[in-house]
Structure 1
Amino acid sequence: MIESNVLLVMLLFFFMAMLFVLSQRLKISYPILLVVGGLLISLIPGAPRISLDPNIIFLVFLPPLLFEAAWYTSWDNFRKWRRSIFIMGFGLVFVTSLAVAYFSVAIIPSFTLAFGFLLGGIISPPDAVAATSVLKGVSIPKRGVTILEGESLVNDAASLTVFRFALGAIVSGTFVLQEAATDFLILAVMGVIVGLVIGHILYIFLRYVAKSSSITTPITLIAPYIMYIVAEHFEWSGVLAVVSGGLFLSYRAKDYMNHHTRIQTKEVWATVGFLLNGFVFILIGLELPIIVSGLEDYSIEESIYYALLISVIVIVLRVLMVYLSAFVPRMLSKRIRQREVSPGWKLPLVVGWAGMRGVVSLASALAIPLTLDNGAAFPHRNIILFITFIVILTTLVFQGLTLPLLIRWVNLEDVDQEIPEKVQIETIRLALAKQAIAHLDNRYSEEMKKYETIARVKEQYQRSIRATEDALDDESKILLSGVRALYKQVALDLIQVRRQGLEAFRKDKEFDSEVIRQMEHHLDLEESRLIQG
């Protein structure tokens, strides 16, 4: 039994890799293909049915995904656009939950407000992974990307709080607003404190105790689980614990990470994030037929009708709320008008349309218990799951496929007039190269006169300075762009030649295999720098 389950998971991972490659060829966001692929697999006669224990959904998937998002969040950009992020992260979640709650009660028979808020808490948070993967192939202003990524950190906590209190009201049968507000404040503040305390403990350990760089990456992998489990044990917010702890450890990473651990950690987390996200997205498609078969009290036509109506409500409400959050504060505050450039009508439309649902919504829906405390079946569980799946499919596939088209149609421009990223890179490169030459002249002047090899180091930096100054010269940009493209092509070609030579040495077995692997790693780093440069 265990062997067959493990084999099934491995086959799904292999299928995910195939769909990811296909998505790159077709230039379609990989979450879209994974959802559709999972749905197609589930329709194959005799295909195995996958059902996960709801109790492990949050524990296995949520902590590392939240930690990864927090780790790669720019704190400076987050702080700069915090007003929009918090309005979207908290305000939009509560407004969406409220609207979905009352609307679902109005259209779904025997649905109560508690079930409506449960559904609203599940489908209110957009998924940053889906949005950013769709946006990789298009150009969008930094403000939009920051708001989408920052919003995902905040709205997860807000939506899961709504979900938690609604679920508690259904199970216990009582709900007191004042108690709920107090409990929310306590669990939010204590969740943040738990995350920061554990983050500080791990920081001290990594910086002052653990001298081996090989332990740093494993610590970052177990950190989100420690933060989440400790906070949830005391019935505080595990989500906010992971987010706050992840932000702190990321901010202080320069104190305990060297170049090796940074490269290693980035590669490991890229793999872990892809596997977890991919598995959840493919699970969306795999689970849908199982949910459909469980719709005992509702016909499939009724269920689709409810789900599509709620999907429309969710999409339209988000677009309206994005515009309100962008312009109403500007109308009420002169200071905001002076500090922030007006976003115009294009960026709010794109940010509003990028509200695709995904991992957190699925995890929340599957985490609904199968039974109540008295052993009775959880009411309306399957219709809630079905609506959640349809909302995810509708927003992810429909909005995901049309978002790049929308960006090109509105001809989105950066209204903030920030310095282009390439110009920033060239400017920093120029300043660092000049600092390096000054250091060579001050400390190694005699060595450069005595040894030609050392003098060539200075020549290399001088050539880099001349090339960078040309890059910042408008008249030379086009010519230099062509030269750099040729240089990259030649350098990559030479790397392949050296790889072939290295492979010949590997086959001759004249040199130690460990040395060959080290040389191969150096070539990997060199190729990576060329491709990303």
Structure 2
Amino acid sequence: MHELLPFIIALVVAIVLIEMLADKLRVAYPVLLVIAGLLISFIPGLPNIQIDPDMIFFIFLPPLLFEASWSISFKEMKKWWRIIGSFAFLVVFFSALAVALFANYYIPGITLALGFLLGGIVSPPDAVSTGAIMKFVKIPKSTSAILEGESLLNDASSLIIVRFALVAVGSGQFIFQTAIRDFSWMVIGGIAIGLLGGWLFMQAHKKLPTDAPSDIVFTLVEPYLLYWAAEQVQSSGVLAVVAGGLFLSIRRFSFLSSASRIKAFSFWEALIFILNGIVFMLIGLALPEVVRGLRADGIPLGRAILYGCLVTVILIVTRMVSSYGALVATLIFRPSVAPGRGLSRRRRLGMPLLLGWTGMRGVVSLAAALSIPLTLPDGEAFPHRNLILFITFTVILFTLLIQGLTLPYLIKRTNLFDYGRELTEDEAKIKVKNQLVVETLRLLKEKHEKGLYKDPHLQKMINMWEDKISQPEKMKMTETSKQNYLELLENQRQFLAGLKKDPELHEEYIHWQIYQIDLEEERIKLL
């Protein structure tokens, strides 16, 4: 362990520096991390990092999924649930099926069960890669909500396919009735455990005398316990984490203090950045080892690269075809809920093309591939494990380099996502702030007329800075002033929570304004 410590520290520093370089170059940082990991792997004398396949899911996936469920807008998920469900479940299944049929037909020794295993591994697009790319281009909130919702749910659907494929490979048979029963329990049990666990954790936050550090520790423990509890009863740990995370996210303002929310935001932002950085770096670092495994299995490198290229093409084509299929089905059966209503025919037909081009693979595919056991239950080596790993790495690398580097150019060049109907980010923030100012003034006048707000600090807020300079001793806030002002901030939060019903306002902007209020509350508490 002492030998690995300098290497791990250097790896973390490299991740931070590469992210800075990516921002400067305006390139998605996962692309540079994969390339850097590949280049670093050729440096002689580096320590060999071995990751236990049974632990890869437990280390990385729970916190990544939990944070994603807190970041997503549940309101937007409900609004676009049809197309999100289509991409998260149907498109993932069709992608896995297409890869399975191709692999079974074209790759020697790959059975249908192994083909489904490969298809389940490479079928889910990666939210981190897409999100990193979207930093440099503007797309409508409806489109980003669809991509975020898809990425949150497709992990669960793809990993369910992986689990059933592993069982089929290990046992050599697939019983349909048993599969339906197990699938139902995985879905229902996972969601139920997540909701129950989320409720229990919410009660713990409310009833225990927690502070910001203990609240943050609880939020770190929650995804791991939810995942572990679900896996112990053979249900879906992924769905448990997602369901529990969404449950807690919706109610975060009722059981977390402003200090906990502010400090937890920074903590989780740094944690997720490091976890994602390590995973993408591992993609490049592990590739040479997988190549050596291929050579030991007698598989030519050129042929393996060809397999990876063909699987990548199949995934891209399948996603695009599915995108157009989802659009056609929506226009036929529910035209009123189709995204981008009122667009020209060119933009309406071009939008699925770009949605199909957003299918970069990443964290979940890598975790699923590395989780393949080394041996079967009978002790024999797992068949074609190195080939499946290599194809997975190839798909991740090619989609990041080809789609990841060209997607920003396509978005800017085609203007297909320039709807012109949604509020811009600045307009939405101004609208939230203006409505908040109107409500605050109404509340202050109401309290003043009732004789409840006679505090000079609140009545002379406009002249606060001048009075602080001239007569700072008179501006010291009393405990009564603090309580009145904190009450006002809480009323502002409650009003903003009601704005979620406004169809023009995305929850992100409302949460942004609530975050400003949280910061103000912490400032007042320190006076």
Is 1:373 aligned to residue 372 of structure 2? no
Q: Is 1:362 the equivalent of 2:362?
A: no
CA distance in 2, matches of 1:333, 1:152: 23
Q: What CA distance in whole angstroms lies between the structure 1 residues aligned with 2:191 and 2:157? A: 13
- The corresponding residue for 1:75 is 74
Which residues of 2 match residues 212-231 of structure 1 at below 5 A?
212-231=211-230
Find the counterpart in structure 2 of residue 207 from structure 1. 206
Structure 2: tracts of 5 or more residues without a match? 466-518
Deviation at 1:336, TM superposition (A): 4.7
Q: Is the 1:187–1:236 Cα contact (8 Å) retained in structure 2?
A: yes
Which amino acid is the alignment partner of residue 117 of structure 2? L
Are the structure 2 counterparts of residues 290 and 120 from structure 1 closer, same or farther at C-alpha, using a change threshold of 3 Å? same
Give deviations 1:131-181, integer Å, cap 9, x for gaps.
Answer: 011111101111211111100111111100110000001111111122212
How far did 1:211 drift? Answer: 4.0
Summarize deviations over 1:13-64 as a string: whole Å, max 9, x none. Answer: 1111111111111111111110000000001222333221111100000100
Partners of 1:351 and 1:3 lie apart in 2 by: 46
Give runs of aligned pairs for residues 172-321 of structure 1, distance below 5 A. 172-295=171-294, 296-321=297-322
User: Which 4+ runs in 1 deviate beyond 3 A?
Assistant: 332-343, 413-416, 438-451, 453-456, 458-461
Aligned pair partner of 1:401 in 377, 401, 405: 405
State the Cα distance separating 1:346 from its structure 2 match. 3.0
Asked if 2 retains the 8 angstrom alpha-carbon contact of 1:144 and 1:347, the reply is: no
Distance 1:139 1:13 in 2: 30
In 1, distance between residues paired with 2:46 and 2:38? 11
Residue identity opposite 2:398 in structure 1: T
CA-to-partner distance for each residue in 1:415-465, whole Å, 9 max, x for gaps?
4822333222212212222332333344457899995x554314689xxxx
Aligned to 1:99: 98
The one-letter code sitting in structure 2 at the alignment partner of 1:49 is N
Mapped to 2, the partners of 1:62 and 1:338 lie a distance apart of 30
SS of match in other structure, 1:174: coil
Please name the residue that 1:512 is paired with. none
- Residues 1:142 and 1:15: Cα distance change in structure 2 (over 3 Å): same
- 1:493-504 superposed matches below 5 A: none
Structure 1 residue 91: deviation in Å?
A: 0.2
SS in 2 for 1:3: coil
Q: 1:334 Cα deviation (Å)?
A: 5.5
After superposition, the C-alpha distances for 1:93-151 in whole angstroms (9 at most, x for unaligned) are: 11011100010111111111010000000000000111011111101111211111100
Per the alignment, residue 497 of structure 2 pairs with none
Any conservation in 2 of the 1:39–1:286 contact (CA below 8 Å)? Answer: yes
Change (3 A) 1:284 1:440: same
1:388 paired with 2:389, answer no
**Residues in 2 aligned to 1:99 and 1:450: alpha-carbon distance in whole angstroms:** 70
Seq. identity, %: 43
Q: CA deviation at 1:398?
A: 1.2
Q: Is the 8 A contact 1:98 1:117 kept in 2?
A: yes
CA apart distance, 1:332: 3.6
- Give the aligned CA root-mean-square deviation in angstroms: 2.5
Counterpart residue identity of residue 299, structure 2? Y
**Matching residue of 2:159:** 160
Name which of 342, 346, 353 aligns with 1:349.
353
Letter in 1 for 2:160: T
SS at 2:2 equivalent: helix
One-letter amino acid of the structure 1 residue matched with residue 395 of structure 2? V
Identify if the C-alpha distance between structure 1 residues 231 and 337 changes in structure 2 by more than 3 Å, giving closer, same or farther: closer
- Maintained 8 Å contact 2:36/2:281: yes
Deviation sequence 1:207-251 (CA, Å, 0-9, x none)? 122342332111111100000000000110000000000000000
Does structure 2 retain, via aligned residues, the 8 Å contact 1:51–1:287? no
Distance 1:254 1:339 in 2: 32
Please name the residue that 1:511 is paired with.
Answer: none
User: In the alignment, is the contact (CA less than 8 A) between 1:140 and 1:412 conserved in 2?
Assistant: no
Count of residues paired in the alignment: 465
Q: What SS is found at the alignment partner of 1:34?
A: helix
Contact 1:49 1:290 in 2 (8 A): no
Displacement after TM superposition at 1:5 (Å):
2.0
C-alpha distance in structure 2 between counterparts of 1:450 and 1:207, whole Å: 32
Q: Does structure 2 conserve the Cα–Cα contact (< 8 Å) formed by 1:447 and 1:454?
A: no
Amino acid paired to 2:308: A
Q: 1:213 to 1:187 in 2, by over 3 A?
A: same
Secondary structure, aligned partner of 1:418: coil
The whole-number CA distance in structure 1 between the counterparts of 2:41 and 2:123 is 27
Aligned to 1:60: 59
- What does 1:485-500 align with in structure 2 at a 5 Å threshold? none
> How many Å apart are 1:4 and its aligned residue?
1.4
Segments of structure 1 that go 5 or more residues without pairing to the other structure are: 462-517, 526-533
* Residue equivalent to 1:30: 29
Looking at structure 2, the residues matched to 235 and 163 of structure 1 have their Cα atoms a distance apart, in angstroms, of 14
Distance of aligned partners of 1:97 and 1:454 in 2 relative to their CA distance in 1, 3 Å threshold: closer
TM superposition shift of 1:353: 0.6
Q: What's 2:129 paired with?
A: 130
Alignment partner of 1:276: what SS?
A: helix
* Separation in structure 1 between the aligned mates of residue 164 and residue 36 of structure 2, nearest angstrom: 34
Distance 2:175 2:452 in 1: 77
How far apart, in 2, do the equivalents of 1:208 and 1:392 lie?
45
Structure-1 separation of matches of 2:231 and 2:42? 37
Q: Distance in 2 between matches of 1:328 and 1:276?
A: 38
* Local SS of the residue matching 2:372: coil
**CA contact 2:411–2:417 (8 Å) conserved in 1:** no
Residue 317 of structure 1 deviates from its aligned partner by 1.1
